[in-house]
Amino acid sequence: MPSNWFTEKHEASGSSIGYRVDDKLAEASTPFQHIEIYRTTDWGNLMVIDGCVMLTSRDNFLYHEMMTHPALYTHAAPRNVVIIGGGDCGTLREVLRHPDVESVVQIDIDEQVTRLAEKYFPELCESNADPRAKLLFDDGIKYMADAAPDSLDVVFVDSTDPVGPAEGLFNAKFYASCFRALREGGILVQQSESPLVLLDLIQSMHKAMREVGFSTTRTLPFPQPCYPTGWWSCTLARKGGGLDAFREQDAAAKPFATRYYNADMHRAALAQPEFMRSALHT
């Protein structure tokens, strides 16, 4: 029997990535996007949105751990957290591993992403019923625009690429809403694509974040096999204070298991490759 493959072509990098699949498990068209779930032969389940790979069972831990733990261990005492996007709930799960976090509101515009994740990626949704969590299916841009000033400690923007529903999450107007909602010392974290081929986007993010008042910005690269080029990043911006120091002892003694993140990996991610250092002035 011939093998079937799902392949994503990435025009920006002139490359593609593919997975051998043996079944399509689900498919849904929503008012916002087209979602597909496949079963792969080697990478577990695969979620695809509008033809782009979102996550696999096998390697999503890299993204979810690096999106969350560096910021939460940099903040002195993160209590109130918001996640914009993050419908697969992996980021929510990682945030809720921190016992000092008191509340997490997740706002994703498309409820179907979460419902499909609950069925096909249940391990990512194991904390959805945590009493500290509140899941909303609404417009995250409007939510942040309406957020009370000085009410949040960390905002995670766990979005798709900056097109379609996520396009409005990559500009100064949105960053200004986040800056206003964060308390002093608060941190904004945004997934920021591949530094290898989209460094110009990351540069524009740093510029816009600093223009609205964030004192420090830093991009942390990490491996991500399922995304274009196999190398991804998140960008942090802080409202007062720096991003080089973190609670290393707490990270080293974290009361939960991880597969990638630890204090050494956090420290290593702060060391910038030369081309990023020169481009981002860090």
Residue numbers annotated as active site: 158
- Residue 32 to residues 19, 35, 139, 246, 281, Cα–Cα distance (Å): 25, 10, 11, 38, 37
Exposed, middle or buried by CB within 10 Å (0-12, 13-18, 19+), for 279? middle
CA–CA distance, 97 with 119 (Å, rounded to integer): 22
> Helix or strand or coil: residue 52?
strand
The residue written with tokens 């969350």 in the block is 68
CA–CA distance, 90 with 119 (Å, rounded to integer): 14
CA proximity to 96, closest of 74, 61, 127: 127
Q: Residue 248 CB: number of other CB atoms within 10 A?
A: 13
| Contact between residue 169 and residue 159 where contact means Cβ atoms under 8 Å apart | yes
Q: How many residues are listed for the chain in this entry?
A: 282
For residue 6, what are its two tokens? 């799902």
Pairing of strands 152-158, 182-191: parallel
Q: 105 - beta bridge partners?
A: 82, 134
For residue 81, what are its two tokens? 């957290």
For residue 174, what are its two tokens? 């949105």
CA–CA distance, 79 with 166 (Å, rounded to integer): 26
